[in-house]
Structure 1
């Protein structure tokens, strides 16, 4: 049994998806459909400039398109369905495209708006995020709960927690966590994601998502909000909205998969962030990033 994982923001890079486009007819079809839905996306992905790709409204559809292309290439080569699937933040949308919950075109249009709304929710430079290393979630929560304006955004691995909120509050929490011998890494993000400051984005996206039809997923897809697989389309619709203001419970998702007997994890799309988190969270687990058609062929040979 294996689980399919789909990356979120931060995994983008110039040239992403080009090898899939050149080597796989199925992936090429996906990327051409993405271009038809959001004209100019391919140029941003392959030619940049990088600061344009970094914009949240471009990052999100670009990552979704490449993950969907990688998944299409997997199926084209005879790859089986996963026993479980999950995506990190934006990646949860990619997982639902792979599972057939959402059409590629609907998902692309929605995550473009998701990115725009998230960027608009907080004025530039008022928000911040920081990764906290070498401290456990309880230690981080103990500090965060004493400071207004900062929240836990991501529980990525046992030794990596991300905080998010107003810049002054994040800086205050970071200073205290440093005193506790935590390592603080400020994140280069354009808004304080997965915090209550994103509520305006959630409210705007609700109207757009309400107009789109969702299907029951073809395989179990985890919610970042509940850290459990969800199958009811209306429940999924609500959780995709809640996810915008809720922490990503990635450690719990991986632990639940391991408890279900998953020992192999494949990351579909750009980057290898999630593969690294698997290895840091689950001892003995096998995790591979499938970033090219060659990676997929190698993985299928070993299945």
Structure 2
């Protein structure tokens, strides 16, 4: 049994997805639809500059388009639907495009707005995020709970927790965590994602999402918020909004899939971040990366064998 995984912000790079466009008619059609929905998006994806691709409002639709193209190439090559799917933060939207919950064009416009609203929620320089390594969730949570203005944003793998919030609060929590022998890695991000400071973005996106039809997904997609699969369209709508301020419970998602019989995970889209997180969380599972056509072909062979 296999699950499909879709990456989030931080996995982007200029030129991503071009090999799929050149080698797959289905992927090329996805990119053409993406360009029609958001003119200029393909230039940003394939030509850059990197600074433009890093902008949250560009990065989110760019990554979604590339994941959707990789998924189209997978299906064109005879790839089956997964038992489950999940995406890391933004990637949850990509998973719902793959599952048919959202139309590609609707999702692209929504995540562009999502990125813009998230950037506008907190003035640049006032928020921060940091990855905490070598400490477990309980140790990080203890410090966060007694530090006002900071929240747990991502539970990525055992020994990798991301915190987010006001810059001075993140720095104060980080100092305490260093004293506990944690390793602190400040993240180069433009806003404090997955914190309560993103509440204005959640409220703004709610108005946009209310106008879009969501359908029952062809396969269950795990929610970042609950770490459980969701199939009811209205519940999915609620969870996609709640996700903006809630932590990404990635460890629980992977463990939940594994507990339901998933032994193989295929990451579809740019980068290999999620492949690495699977290997650190579930060393006994197979983690395969379909970032390029060659990787997709190898993953397909493993899945259908």
TM-score of the aligned structures, taking structure 2 as reference length: 0.99
- Note if 1:205 corresponds to 2:202: no
- Runs of 5+ in structure 1 lacking a partner? none
Whole-angstrom distance in 2 between the partners of 1:12 and 1:35: 17
Which residue is 2:68 aligned to? Answer: 68
Q: 2:233 maps to what in 1?
A: 233
1:288 CA displacement = 1.1
Q: Cα offset for 1:257?
A: 0.5
Q: 5 Å matches for 1:63-212?
A: 63-212=63-212
Q: Corresponding residue for 2:17?
A: 17
State the shift of 1:301 in Å: 2.0
Instruction: Report the alpha carbon displacement of residue 28 of structure 1 after superposing the two structures with TM.
Output: 0.1
Calculate the TM-score normalised by the size of structure 1.
0.99
Spell out, residue by residue over 1:25-50, the C-alpha distance to the aligned partner (whole angstroms, 9 max, x if none): 00000011001100111110111110
Work out whether residues 289 and 299 of structure 2, in 8 Å CA contact, stay in contact via their aligned partners in 1. Answer: no
1:49 aligns with 2:49: yes
Q: Deviations over 1:234-289 (max 9, x none)?
A: 00001000000000000000000010111100000000000000000012111011
SS in 2 for 1:178: helix
User: RMSD between aligned alpha carbons?
Assistant: 0.5
Alignment size in residue pairs: 303
Per-residue Cα deviation, 1:177-216 (whole angstroms, up to 9, x for no partner): 0000000000000000000000000000000000000000
Q: Any runs of at least 4 consecutive aligned residues in structure 1 with deviations exceeding 3 A, and if so which?
A: none
SS of residue matched to 2:175: helix
SS of 1:289's equivalent?
Answer: strand
Gaps in structure 2 of 5+ consecutive residues: none
